[in-house]
Amino acid sequence: MRLKHAGVHEKETLKLADVIESVKKHPDYRKVGAMGLFIGVVRGETKKGESVSRLELEAYDDKADEKLEEICQDLQSEKGIVDVQIHHFTGEFELGEDLVYVLVAGGHRENVFPVLQRAVERYKREAPIFKKEYVKGKNGKVESYWVSERKSRKRAKIQE
């Protein structure tokens, strides 16, 4: 059975090797000369340099699956692209753990790299996947917040 192009998966229910193998089973795999892969992992600090101790990810599963599949279908229609897959994980994650696999297979690297970047940018912007960061403050206390809430609070402060 071939793996779906995209979806939200509970942590550790899908292996990277399974994603790669599913591309190799694609009916047009003979046209593939390059595969590009993005693996998103838990980073140990925020963009502001705060120390992250762990993450929690949740998704509106049905809508996220639908949106990820839509992104894959859109990008797969581009010239030279054979397959696009986006597999995002949910659950609790420690530093360095895999969060997402984005794979693009195409005829040539010139086809693959730009589509890979667009796939990453689109899933981050469009998919209803929510991240909660557990950040250690300067006082040593760990605080947690949903990333979208923190951005909303910043915007509210700016508008005051």
Does residue 31 fall inside a structural domain?
yes
Count how many domains the chain has. Answer: 1
Q: Which residues, 6 or more positions from 144, have their beta carbon under 8 angstroms from its beta carbon?
A: 56, 132, 133, 134, 135
Its pTM surpasses 0.75: yes
Does residue 38 fall inside a structural domain?
yes
User: What confidence score (pLDDT) does residue 5 get?
Assistant: 84
Task: Determine the average pLDDT of the residues in 95-113.
Answer: 97
Q: Which residues, 6 or more positions from 126, have their beta carbon under 8 angstroms from its beta carbon?
A: 67, 71
Task: Provide the percentage of residues in the chain whose pLDDT is more than 90.
Answer: 78
Q: 4 in the Ramachandran plot: left (φ > 0), alpha (ψ -120 to 50) or beta? A: beta
User: What confidence score (pLDDT) does residue 159 get?
Assistant: 39
Q: 102 in the Ramachandran plot: left (φ > 0), alpha (ψ -120 to 50) or beta? A: beta
Does residue 1 fall inside a structural domain?
no
Does residue 54 fall inside a structural domain?
no
DSSP state for residue 152 in the 8-state scheme: H
Structural domain of residue 86, as residue ranges? 6-49+59-127
Does the pLDDT of residue 48 top 90, yes or no?
no
Alpha helices in 50-108 (DSSP H): 61-76
pLDDT, one tens digit per residue, over 110-149 is 999 999 999 999 999 999 999 999 998 778 888 898 987 5
Q: Return the CATH number at 91.
A: 3.90.1170.40
Name the amino acid, one letter, at 72.
Answer: C
Does residue 90 fall inside a structural domain?
yes
User: What confidence score (pLDDT) does residue 149 get?
Assistant: 58
Does the pLDDT of residue 97 top 60, yes or no?
yes
User: What confidence score (pLDDT) does residue 114 get?
Assistant: 98
Does residue 144 fall inside a structural domain?
no
Average pLDDT, the chain: 90
Task: Provide the percentage of residues in the chain whose pLDDT is more than 70.
Answer: 91
